[in-house]
């Protein structure tokens, strides 16, 4: 094993994407073309903490093995390069193609800080395109969706409080990460970001959704360049959607066999006690101009764990495949990793199906099949010799699976009375961040949508664990930093258990 230079040891995962070095957060510009998945990502090449954002770039054919490519987008006079999306403009609707080559078109936020940090910041949407999928040309007349003149003020607006996003840079100075009772909306600051371009059978043109503070705005365009606002969703006075700034939306369309249904994905910058960085999905319908939630539908966690944020899906892929940032703004900058900081979640295929609890997204990791190096039955107290493995469990009642290290650190997963429990409180190092050690970042639980027999997959990858129960109607992801690798698995209450060595 490679030993680290700064952290306790090398925590770099092998199935989860990481940058060659330095800081990474959100996945951006996910697009599939000619058998190749493109992953762009929020990247700060200058340090292992968040800083002036660029778009890093990597490509893969199986969503596990990635080839790093040169940085795709650098900051310019309109600002640094925040999150956004990319589409394959096969019909050259943009007219940006040349010599028979249709372009990849990226639409992204540019974040421009005021002259003095406290004067606020402005966020515009810009466009860049590529004919070879590697080199990008910025559109000359950027921005394509300029920042609104004034932050929208609601008459009933009460100051919301973001407990942990730092005072001067608000959402982005992650290392500072201290509690401050600052209003969520800063004077002069305009949250207007993270455009996701989508295709919909309902709209005749391109659709785009972005987040504007605590609500979403929808746009249409015939050519990806000229955008007209078509509708809004939110804001809300009560409930989880009223508790923080919205980020990184995505709109998915499913043909369920019982008609077309839509799902809006939103990432929420919540206070720590509510889990910090968390993503929800909402069932509803999109009519070509705006999204409306179905009556009585509450937002549902896309992932019930700690570390899956800003997830969006690939354009132009046959399936809905989502990748998220396997991190949380509340502590990720402080995690004990070495020359890199941040990883993506595994790619997950999303399907919308009916359960006894209603329609739910089912999520399943993609691409692991080709990584299985060994497969065997698993028994209670079996020894594990790898840091990259999966276990597949079946049962019909309560169950507990725990991974333990010789030093007594334990990561446990339990099914009990129809609930799934995930406990990382003693799974490894927690001392690097006060937040990480708090109860609300130590334990999570989720109610099952089904009763009776269950199947659960647990993927472990050095410092990342992802749990999928009942077809992925419950997914839970978390990072852990065991001082030494786990070497033993204890199992209680499973009717069948298999172990897979990966990579
Ligand atoms: C989400 C986010 C986005 C923003 C980006 C900046 O994690 O805060 O809203 O575009 O990260 O890196």
pLDDT of residue 149: 75
Give distance in angstroms: CA of 95 to centre of ligand 1.
29
**Residue 155 neighbours by CB under 8 Å, 6+ apart:** none
Give distance in angstroms: CA of 26 to centre of ligand 1.
7
Measured by CA distance, the residue closest to atom 6 of ligand 1 is 82
Give distance in angstroms: CA of 29 to centre of ligand 1.
13
The closest-lying atom of ligand 1 relative to the alpha carbon of residue 267 is 1
Give distance in angstroms: CA of 435 to centre of ligand 1.
20
pTM of the model: 0.93
Determine whether 26 is an active site residue: yes
Ligand 1, from 23, 26, 29, 41: best to mutate by most atoms within 8 Å of Cβ?
Answer: 26
Q: Is 109 in the pocket of ligand 1 (CB under 6 A)?
A: yes
Beta strands in 270-319 (DSSP E): 277-286, 291-293, 300-301, 309-313
The closest-lying atom of ligand 1 relative to the alpha carbon of residue 53 is 12
pLDDT of residue 188: 62
Q: Is 9 in the pocket of ligand 1 (CB under 6 A)?
A: no
pLDDT of residue 129: 98
Cα separation of 238 and 247, whole Å? 18
Q: Is 450 left (phi over 0), alpha (psi -120 to 50) or beta?
A: beta
pLDDT of residue 150: 65
Cα separation of 479 and 466, whole Å? 9
Give distance in angstroms: CA of 290 to centre of ligand 1.
23
Q: Which stretches in the chain have pLDDT values below 70?
A: 1-8, 114-120, 150-188, 203
Measured by CA distance, the residue closest to atom 9 of ligand 1 is 247
- How does pLDDT run across 211-250, given as a tens digit for each residue? 999 999 999 999 999 999 999 999 999 999 999 999 999 9
Kind of pairing, strands 488-492 and 382-383? antiparallel
For the record, the structure tokens of 374 come out as: 């060994």
The closest-lying atom of ligand 1 relative to the alpha carbon of residue 111 is 10
For the record, the structure tokens of 406 come out as: 């010789």
Give distance in angstroms: CA of 20 to centre of ligand 1.
20
Residue whose pair of structure tokens reads 């970001």 in the numeric block: 193
Q: Do residues 331 and 433 lie in contact, with contact meaning Cβ atoms separated by under 8 Å?
A: yes
**With the C-alpha atoms ordered 312, 314, 317, 322, is the resulting torsion angle positive or negative?**
negative
Could you give the C-alpha distances from 6 to 340, 462, 481, in angstroms and in order?
A: 11, 17, 14
pLDDT of residue 163: 38
Ligand 1, from 75, 170, 194: best to mutate by most atoms within 8 Å of Cβ?
Answer: 194
Q: Is 171 in the pocket of ligand 1 (CB under 6 A)?
A: yes
Q: Is 248 in the pocket of ligand 1 (CB under 6 A)?
A: yes
Q: Is 310 in the pocket of ligand 1 (CB under 6 A)?
A: yes
pLDDT of residue 9: 84
Q: Is 413 in the pocket of ligand 1 (CB under 6 A)?
A: no
Q: Is 193 in the pocket of ligand 1 (CB under 6 A)?
A: yes
- How does pLDDT run across 369-418, given as a tens digit for each residue? 999 999 999 999 999 999 999 999 999 999 999 999 999 999 999 999 99
Q: Is 25 in the pocket of ligand 1 (CB under 6 A)?
A: yes
Q: Is 53 in the pocket of ligand 1 (CB under 6 A)?
A: yes
pLDDT of residue 344: 98
**Residue among 26, 250, 315, 461 flagged as catalytic:** 26
Give distance in angstroms: CA of 39 to centre of ligand 1.
16
């Amino acid at each position: 094993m490679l030993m680290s230079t700064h952290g306790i040891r090398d925590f770099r995962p092998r199935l989860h994407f990481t940058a060659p070095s330095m800081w990474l957060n959100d996945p951006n510009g996910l697009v599939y073309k000619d058998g190749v998945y493109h992953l762009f990502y929020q990247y700060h090449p200058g340090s292992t903490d968040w800083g002036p954002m660029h778009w890093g770039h990597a490509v893969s054919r199986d969503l596990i093995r990635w080839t790093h490519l040169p940085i795709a987008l650098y900051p310019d006079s309109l600002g640094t390069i925040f999150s956004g999306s990319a589409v394959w403009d096969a019909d050259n609707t943009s007219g940006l193609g040349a010599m028979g080559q249709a372009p990849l078109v990226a639409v992204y936020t540019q974040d421009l800080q005021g002259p003095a940090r406290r004067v606020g910041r402005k966020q515009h949407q810009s466009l860049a395109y590529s004919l070879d999928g590697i080199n990008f040309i910025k559109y000359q007349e950027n921005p394509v969706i300029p920042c609104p003149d004034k932050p929208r003020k609601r008459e009933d607006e009460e100051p919301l409080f973001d407990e942990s996003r730092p005072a001067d840079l608000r959402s982005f100075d992650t290392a500072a990460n201290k509690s401050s009772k600052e209003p969520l909306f800063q004077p002069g600051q305009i949250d207007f970001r993270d455009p996701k371009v989508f295709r919909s059978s309902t709209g005749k043109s391109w659709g785009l959704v972005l987040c504007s503070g605590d609500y979403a705005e929808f746009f249409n365009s015939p050519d990806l360049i000229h955008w007209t606002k078509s509708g809004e969703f939110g804001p809300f006075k009560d409930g989880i959607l009223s508790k923080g700034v919205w980020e990184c939306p995505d709109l998915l369309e499913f043909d369920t066999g019982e008609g077309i249904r839509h799902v809006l994905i939103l990432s929420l910058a919540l206070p720590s006690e509510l889990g910090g960085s968390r993503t929800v999905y909402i069932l509803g319908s999109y009519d070509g101009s705006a999204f409306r939630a179905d009556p009585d539908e509450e937002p549902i966690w896309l992932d019930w764990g700690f570390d899956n944020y800003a997830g969006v899906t690939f354009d132009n892929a046959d399936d809905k495949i989502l990748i998220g940032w396997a991190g949380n703004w509340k502590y990720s900058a402080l995690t004990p990793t070495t020359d890199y900081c941040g990883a993506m979640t595994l790619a997950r295929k999303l399907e919308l199906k009916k359960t006894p609890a209603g329609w739910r997204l089912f999520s399943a990791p993609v691409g692991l099949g080709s990584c299985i190096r060994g497969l065997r039955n698993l028994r209670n107290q079996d020894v594990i010799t790898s840091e990259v493995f999966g276990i597949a469990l079946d049962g019909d009642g309560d169950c507990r699976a725990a991974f333990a290290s010789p030093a007594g650190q334990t990561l446990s997963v339990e099914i009990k009375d129809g609930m799934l429990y995930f406990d990382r409180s003693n799974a490894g190092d927690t001392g690097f961040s006060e937040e990480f050690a708090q109860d609300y970042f130590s334990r999570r639980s989720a109610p099952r949508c089904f009763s009776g027999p269950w199947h659960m997959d647990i993927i472990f990858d050095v410092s990342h664990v992802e749990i999928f129960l009942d077809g992925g109607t419950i997914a839970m992801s978390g990072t852990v930093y065991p001082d030494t690798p786990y070497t033993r698995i204890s199992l209680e209450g499973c009717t069948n258990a298999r172990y897979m060595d990966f990579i």
